Amino acid sequence: MNYLAGLDVGTTGAKAVLIDEDGKVAASATGDYPMATPKPLWSEQDPEDWWRAAESVFRRVISLAGISSDQVAGVGLTGQMHGLVALDAAGKVLRPCIMWNDQRTEKECRAITEKLTPARLLELTANPVLPGFTAPKILWVRDHEPEIYRQIAHVLLPKDFIRYRLTGEFATDVSDASGTSLFDVARRRWSSEMLHALSIPAEWMPSASESPEVTGRVSLRAAHSTGLAEGTPVVAGAGDQAAGGIGNGIVDAGVVSVTIGTSGVVFAHTDRLSMDPGGRLHAFCHAVPGAWHIMGVTLAAGGSLRWYRDVLATEEREAARQRNRDPYDLLMEEAALAPPGSEGLFFLPYLSGERTPYQDPSARGAYVGLTLRHSRPHLIRSLLEGVAYSLRDCLELARSSGVEARQIRASGGGARSALWRQILADVFNAELVTVNSIEGAPFGAALLAGVGAGVFRDVRDASRRTVRVGERTAPGREAAGVYGRGYEVYRSLYPSLKGVFTAVG
Active-site positions?
240
Number of other residues whose CB lies within 10 A of the CB of residue 271: 12
- List, in sequence order, every beta strand (DSSP E) within 21-165: 25-32, 44-45, 72-79, 85-87, 97-98, 154-156
Contacts 24+ apart (CB under 8 A), 457-465: 458/212, 458/289, 459/211, 459/212, 459/246, 459/251, 459/287, 459/288, 459/289, 460/251, 460/252, 460/288, 462/246, 463/246, 463/247, 463/249, 463/251, 464/249, 464/251, 465/22, 465/23
Q: Is 445 helix (H, G, I), strand (E, B) or coil?
A: helix
Residues 6+ apart with CB under 8 A from 146: none
Distance CA(132)–CA(99), nearest Å, equals 7
**Cα–Cα distances in angstroms (integers) from residue 123 to residues 81, 342, 391, in the given order:** 22, 43, 27
d(CA 367, CA 361): 18
